[in-house]
A and B are shown apart, each in its own frame.
Chain A
Amino acid sequence: MTMDAVFQIIVGGLTLGSTYALAAIGLSLTYGTMGMFNMAHGVLMTIGAYSAYVAASILGLPLFVGFAFALLVGMVTGGLLHLLVVRYMLDTPRFEINVIVVTAGVAILLEDLILKQFGAYPFRQPVQLAGSLRIGEVTVTAQNLVTFAVAFVLISATAWVLLRTRFGRAIRATAMDREAAMLMGVNADRTFLHVLLIAGGLAAAAGVLISAQTTLSPAMGTNPLLRAFVICVFAGLGSVGGAGIAAILLGLFEVAIQYTLGVQYGFPFMLGLVVVVIIFRPAGLFGHTVVERK
C-alpha cells in the first residue's frame, strides 16, 4: 500500500467519520439526558437541510444566513417536538419504549409533509463551499474540511456545555434523578425543552453538512439515523464525546475495509466490529454504566 493510499484512507475515513459524528451527537445527547431514543432525529436533519435550501435558493439569502436559518428551524422543530409530544409522555410508564414509537410516527408525518411540499426530486444543497486542496495525489475538498471542523466544534461545545456549565449540570442532574433535581430547584420540564432545542439545532447542522455531500431528498435522514444509532451503541449510549471519537474510529475502519477488501464489505465489517465490542463491553466503548431514567 502506497503512502498516497494510506493518506486517502485517512482523508476518506475522517470525512465519513465526521458525517457520522454530526449525525450522532444530537441523538447521543437526547438519549444521555432524557433516556429518549429520538426516531425523529433523522427527519430533523432533513428539515435543517431543506431550510438551508429554502433560505439560500428560494429566498436568495447568503450561505451563512442559510446555515443559521437551518439551525433556527431545527431548534424550533425540536422545541415543538417537546412541547407538543414528548412532555406529555415523560411521566408515562415505559417512556423509553413509547417515545421510540411516537417519534417514529412524528418522523413519518414530517417526512411526508416535506415530500408533499418539495416532491421527491433530488436537489443540490446550495449551502456548501467550493474549492479543494491537493496533498500529493490526494484531494481534500473545502467542504470535507468544513464538515470535519464543524463536527469537532459541535462535539467539543456540546461536551463543554454538559460538563462545564451550570446549564449542563442541570441537564446532567435531571438525567441522573429527575425528582432530586427538581428538589434542588431545577425546572426539569424546561431542561428537557432545552435539550431538544439543542438536539434540533445539532440535527439541522448535521443535515446541512450531510446533504452538501449527498443531495437533498425527503428520505435523506434515514441512512444517517441508522448509522448514528450504531455509533451511539458502539460508543456507549449517552456519551456525547465518546460518540464523536467512535464515529471517527468507525469511519476510518469502514474506509480501510472498503479500500482493502471492497466497498461492499465496509458497512458489514463495521457492524461486525460493533457486535464484537458490545460482546466484550456491553455498555459500549466509552460507557461505564447503562444510563437509566428514574
Chain B
Amino acid sequence: MKTKQSRNSVLSRRGFLRSAAAGGSGAAMLAGMNSQAAAQSSDPVVVGAPLPLTGAAAADGIEFRRGLEMAADEINAMGGILGRPIQLAFGDTESQGDDVISSAGRRLVDRENAAVLISGYNFGSNSALPQVAADAMIPYLHADTVIAHEALVQSEPETFWGSWMYDPSEAMYGIGYLDFLRNLEESGQFTPPNRKIAIITGPIAYSINIAEAIRDRAADYGYEVSLYETVQAPISEWGPTLAKIRADEPGMIAMTHLFTQDQAQFMLQFMENPTNSLIYMQYGASLAAFREITGDASEGVLYATVIGALQDEIGMIFAEGYKERFGETASPNAGGQTYSALYAYAMAASLAGGVGEPYEEMQNRAIVERLQGLIFRSPMGTIRFNPQTQSAYSYPSQTDDPSLGLPHIFSQIKDSAQDGVIIAPSPYDKAPFELPRWMKA
C-alpha cells in the first residue's frame, strides 16, 4: 500500500475548461461551490482506493488508479472539496477474495484514515468492502456490477446505507445483449446465419449470472442455446471449446468470461479457422490490452459495458485528456469509472457541507443523502441512483430517457489500433454495425 500526494496544483485556464468539460456537470458545480466556500480546514481529504492492482484484474486496476489520479488532480486544481485537497491512498486487493479485499479496505480506514472508499470492481463475494464501510460508517462507491450488491443492501439497509454501486447490476448485460441482437435484426443490419447462440462463461458468479440471464431468456427472443460452456481461469488452450463450436456452428457466440487475456487467446485461436458466427465479448475486449495482444484478429469483435466512456463531447474530452496523460494504450473505459465516482463523491460532499471522517455517521449519512439525489452527467453518461437498490439506473433497460440512466453501450472494434466505436444505443451511437470480415454476408 502506498500514499500518493496529488500533483499539479495549478491548471491553465484552457486546461481548467477542458477538465471542467471532462468532469461533466460536476466540475462547474464544484468550482462554483469552492469559490464561495470558506475552507473549514486545509487538511487533506483521504480517499481510500482498494483496487485489484495486481493479479488477473490488474489491467483494470491500473486504469482505476489512473482515473482517480486524474480526477483528484482536476478537483484539487479547482480547490478540492470545499477548500480541502484530495489525497489518494491505494490498497492492493490482488484480484483475490474477501480476506485480502477486507484487509486492504481496513488498512485504508485504520492507517490512512480514509473518509470514503472508492473502487472500480473487486472479486470475492462483494460483501467485504460494504462491511468495512459499514463498520467505519463511511461511504463506499464501487462498480462491482453485481446483483449481489442489490440483494445485500436491500436485506440490511440500515447496515449498508453507505454502499453505493455507481453502475447497474450484471443482469442488465444478459437482457441488454438479447435486446441488442433483436434490434440489429429488426433494423436490418444483421441477419443471423441461424438461431443458435453458443455461451461461454467463466468461474466467477458475475460471468455466470450474465450467461444464465442470456440462457434463460434466449427462447423468448427466438434463439436456441446450442452450447453452454464453463471454463476455468486462466485458460490458454481453447481447442476443446472451439472444436465444439466448429462441430455445431452457432450464428452467435457470447463470451461472458471476462478476463482480457483469456478472451484474447480465444480470439486468436478462433481466427485460425473461424466459423460464421457473430462474436460478442463481455467487457474484457473493451480494454486496450485485448487489442494489443490480439492485433488484427480483434477487428469485428463486439463488446459491451454498462459503464464505459461515451464518444460524445464530454466523453471524448475526457478520453483525449486521459490518453494524453497515460499514453495511447490507456483505457478510458475503465479509468472513467473511478474518475466519475470521485467527482460524484466530491459533489455530494460539497453539497452536504463537507467531508465526514470515519465514524462520523451523521455527516457521512448527509453525504449519502446528497449522493442519492444526484443526477450527474459524467463522461460515462448519467449516473442516477435507485434508492432501493443503491445502484445506478441503466439506459435503455431501466429507463427510456437517456438523460436519466447510464447507457449500456455496445461497441465494435473496427481498427485494432483504435478503441472500439459505439454502435448502440441511440443517441450515443457513432457508427453503424459492420459484418465482421470472417462472416459471410
Is B237's CB under 8 angstroms from A120's CB?
no
B54 at the interface (CB under 8 A from A): yes
Is A255's CB under 8 angstroms from B55's CB?
no
Q: Mark A87-128, 1 if CB is under 8 A from B, else 0.
A: 000000000000000000000000000010001111110000
Q: Given the known inter-chain contacts A2-B247, A8-B239, please indicate yes or no for A122 contacting B261, CB distance below 8 A.
A: yes
- Closest-by-CB residue of B relative to A133 is B272
Q: How far, in Å, is A265 (CB) from chain B's closest CB?
A: 9
- Closest-by-CB residue of B relative to A264 is B230
B370-390 contacts to A, CB under 8 A, are none
Q: Given the known inter-chain contacts A120-B59, A214-B236, A263-B231, please indicate yes or no for A139 contacting B53, CB distance below 8 A.
A: no
Is B232's CB under 8 angstroms from A267's CB?
yes
Q: Which residues of chain B have C-beta atoms less than 8 A from A262's C-beta?
A: 229-230
B234 at the interface (CB under 8 A from A): yes
Q: Which residues of chain A have C-beta atoms less than 8 A from B53's C-beta?
A: 120
Q: Given the known inter-chain contacts A2-B247, A120-B59, A263-B230, please indicate yes or no for A215 contacting B293, CB distance below 8 A.
A: yes
Rounded to whole angstroms, the CA-CA distance of A121 and B239 in the bound complex is 26
A15 at the interface (CB under 8 A from B): yes
Which single member of B240, B272, B293, B295 contacts A258 (CB below 8 Å)?
B240
Which single member of A16, A219, A263 contacts B54 (CB below 8 Å)?
A219
B58 at the interface (CB under 8 A from A): yes
Which single member of A19, A120, A123, A137 contacts B246 (CB below 8 Å)?
A137
Q: Mark A209-221, 1 if CB is under 8 A from B, else 0.
A: 0100111011100
Rounded to whole angstroms, the CA-CA distance of A282 and B53 in the bound complex is 41
Q: Mark A14-41, 1 if CB is under 8 A from B, else 0.
A: 0110010000000000000000000000
- Closest-by-CB residue of A relative to B230 is A264
- Closest-by-CB residue of B relative to A267 is B232
Number of A-B contacts (CB under 8 A): 101
Q: Given the known inter-chain contacts A8-B240, A262-B230, please indicate yes or no for A121 contacting B273, CB distance below 8 A.
A: no
Is B265's CB under 8 angstroms from A122's CB?
no
A145-183 contacts to B, CB under 8 A, are none
B17 at the interface (CB under 8 A from A): no
Is B62's CB under 8 angstroms from A215's CB?
no
Which single member of A8, A19, A218 contacts B243 (CB below 8 Å)?
A8
A269 at the interface (CB under 8 A from B): no
Is B58's CB under 8 angstroms from A121's CB?
yes
- Closest-by-CB residue of A relative to B246 is A137
B264 at the interface (CB under 8 A from A): yes
- Closest-by-CB residue of B relative to A260 is B240
Is A121's CB under 8 angstroms from B62's CB?
yes
Rounded to whole angstroms, the CA-CA distance of A111 and B418 in the bound complex is 31
A132 at the interface (CB under 8 A from B): yes
Q: Which residues of chain A have C-beta atoms less than 8 A from B239's C-beta?
A: 8-9, 11-12, 15-16, 255
A290 at the interface (CB under 8 A from B): no
Is B243's CB under 8 angstroms from A263's CB?
no
Q: Given the known inter-chain contacts A213-B236, A259-B243, A263-B240, please indicate yes or no for A122 contacting B61, CB distance below 8 A.
A: no
Q: How far, in Å, is A126 (CB) from chain B's closest CB?
A: 11
Is B55's CB under 8 angstroms from A259's CB?
no
Q: Given the known inter-chain contacts A120-B53, A120-B54, A122-B260, please indicate yes or no for A259 contacting B59, CB distance below 8 A.
A: no
B166-212 contacts to A, CB under 8 A, are 203
B235 at the interface (CB under 8 A from A): yes
Is B231's CB under 8 angstroms from A264's CB?
yes
- Closest-by-CB residue of A relative to B274 is A139
B244 at the interface (CB under 8 A from A): yes
Rounded to whole angstroms, the CA-CA distance of A2 and B234 in the bound complex is 28
Is A215's CB under 8 angstroms from B237's CB?
no
B46-60 contacts to A, CB under 8 A, are 53-55, 58-59
Q: Which residues of chain A have C-beta atoms less than 8 A from B241's C-beta?
A: 258, 263
A238-294 contacts to B, CB under 8 A, are 255, 258-259, 262-264, 266-267
Is A217's CB under 8 angstroms from B265's CB?
no
Q: Given the known inter-chain contacts A121-B289, A214-B265, A264-B232, please indicate yes or no for A259 contacting B62, CB distance below 8 A.
A: no
Is B58's CB under 8 angstroms from A259's CB?
no
Is B54's CB under 8 angstroms from A115's CB?
yes
Is B261's CB under 8 angstroms from A217's CB?
yes
Is A122's CB under 8 angstroms from B289's CB?
yes
Is B240's CB under 8 angstroms from A9's CB?
yes
Rounded to whole angstroms, the CA-CA distance of A227 and B66 in the bound complex is 35
Q: Which residues of chain B have C-beta atoms less than 8 A from A12's C-beta?
A: 237, 239-240, 243
B216 at the interface (CB under 8 A from A): no
Rounded to whole angstroms, the CA-CA distance of A122 and B234 in the bound complex is 13
Q: Mark B251-279, 1 if CB is under 8 A from A, else 0.
A: 00000000011001100010011000000
Which single member of A5, A9, A120, A264 contacts B62 (CB below 8 Å)?
A120
Is A120's CB under 8 angstroms from B58's CB?
yes
Which single member of A115, A123, A214, A264 contacts B234 (CB below 8 Å)?
A214
Q: How far, in Å, is B14 (CB) from chain A's closest CB?
A: 31
Rounded to whole angstroms, the CA-CA distance of A12 and B230 in the bound complex is 18
Rounded to whole angstroms, the CA-CA distance of A213 and B238 in the bound complex is 11
Q: Given the known inter-chain contacts A8-B240, A259-B240, please indicate yes or no for A132 contacting B234, CB distance below 8 A.
A: no
B360 at the interface (CB under 8 A from A): no
Rounded to whole angstroms, the CA-CA distance of A258 and B243 in the bound complex is 10
Is B273's CB under 8 angstroms from A214's CB?
no
Is A255's CB under 8 angstroms from B293's CB?
no
Rounded to whole angstroms, the CA-CA distance of A223 and B234 in the bound complex is 8
Rounded to whole angstroms, the CA-CA distance of A121 and B54 in the bound complex is 9
Q: In this complex, which of B58, B239, B265, B295 has the most chain A Cβ atoms within 10 angstroms of its Cβ?
A: B239
B292 at the interface (CB under 8 A from A): yes
Is A213's CB under 8 angstroms from B265's CB?
yes
Is A255's CB under 8 angstroms from B203's CB?
no
Is A120's CB under 8 angstroms from B240's CB?
no
Is A215's CB under 8 angstroms from B203's CB?
no
A183-218 contacts to B, CB under 8 A, are 210, 213-215, 217-218
Which single member of B235, B237, B272, B292 contacts A132 (CB below 8 Å)?
B272
Is A122's CB under 8 angstroms from B59's CB?
yes
Q: Given the known inter-chain contacts A215-B264, A263-B230, please indicate yes or no for A5 contacting B247, CB distance below 8 A.
A: yes
Q: What are 14 pairs between A and B in contact, CB < 8 Å?
A: A4-B247, A16-B239, A120-B54, A120-B58, A120-B59, A122-B58, A122-B260, A138-B273, A139-B272, A141-B269, A214-B234, A215-B261, A258-B241, A263-B231
Give 5 A-B pairs besides A122-B260, A215-B293, A258-B241 with Cβ atoms closer than 8 angstroms.
A4-B247, A15-B239, A138-B273, A141-B272, A264-B231
- In the complex, the 8 A-B pairs of residues with the closest C-beta atoms, listed nearest first: A12-B239, A120-B58, A258-B240, A139-B272, A8-B243, A259-B240, A214-B236, A264-B230
